[in-house]
Structure 1
């Protein structure tokens, strides 16, 4: 399918999912990069306790909190 035909179908609200290779789809800027961070044991225990309370993993709670903080910083720099 040519790009113009694809664009036309999309613009007309037609289902284009059969034309996509969804397992290979990537969100630019959201690629994963592994880093190592050392935390004091009291902080790991507190993270684990909060993660358990919320029913998520330690890694998830760290990501959620850092993303929240970065979003707040981005909003405050716009003001």
Structure 2
């Protein structure tokens, strides 16, 4: 499918996912990198309680909280 046809279908709200190679899909600027962080035991326990309460993983809680904090304190680049 040519790009113009793809754009037209997308703009009409048609499903274009069959034209995409989802195995190669990437979100620009969202590449994952692994980091290791040591936390005190009491903090891990608190994170686990919050994760159970929300029904998500500990990693998800950490990611969301860090993202919220960074969005609050980071000013966009000009």
TM-score of the superposition, structure 1-length normalised? 0.75
Identify the residue that residue 56 of structure 1 maps to in structure 2: 56
Gaps of at least 5 residues in structure 1 are none
Runs of 4+ in 1 over 6 A off after TM superposition: none
Superposition RMSD in Å: 1.9
TM-score of the superposition, structure 2-length normalised? 0.76
Query: In proportion to residue count, which structure has more helix?
Result: 1
Secondary structure of the residue aligned to 1:28 is: coil
Gaps of at least 5 residues in structure 2 are none
Aligned length: 76
Equivalents in 2 of 1:13, 1:44: separation in Å? Answer: 44
